[in-house]
Amino acid sequence: MERGSADTTLSIKEIKELWSRTYNEVGKPGWSHIFSYYHDNIVFQDSIQRIEGKDEFLEMCNRLAKRCKSLSMEIFNIVKTDKVVMMEWKMTMSFRRFPNKPIYGSTRLTFNDEGLIIEQRDYYDLWGDIYDGIPIVRPVYRRFMKKFFG
């Protein structure tokens, strides 16, 4: 992709290809091939944390890669409008002695005028997806969520 062209953001096809290579079923995940698409002032936020700056973002990605025994991502849908991309996914993670666990979510990528990702917001219910895999905890957690949040 040539920066400075009429549409400088990544295409849906490019995003699907790049993000699918990020996560693999065997071995450690790696993000190094997508880091060049992030702006130095990237703001990343998910259910757990808010990270500001590319150095901090790279550190967070490397920490996750180090902790994961394996990690894979299946992208279901991608929608692009102007400088915003939304994608829906299933990420399956394995940590140390724990079995593979799927987490379902979505990601919003916001691009600046140069075609770099200036903001990434990941949406997912980490604890719900984890607790759903634990037979004794699942019903208690779901009753709690329904009672207090709807």
Residue 4 lies in a domain: no
**What confidence tens digit (pLDDT) does each residue in 38-83 have?**
999 999 999 889 999 999 999 988 887 777 777 778 899 999 998 9
Residue 61 lies in a domain: yes
Residue 1 lies in a domain: no
Give Rg (Cα) of the chain: 17
Alpha helices, H only, 49-136: 54-67, 126-131
**What confidence tens digit (pLDDT) does each residue in 65-74 have?**
777 777 778 8
Q: In sequence order, what are the beta bridge partners of 117?
A: 38, 111
Domain of 46, in residue numbers: 12-149
Q: How far apart are CA 129 and CA 131, in angstroms?
A: 6
Supply the pTM of this predicted model. 0.79
**What confidence tens digit (pLDDT) does each residue in 29-40 have?**
677 788 999 999
| Domain CATH for 21 | 3.10.450.50
Show the tokens assigned to 108.
């919003």
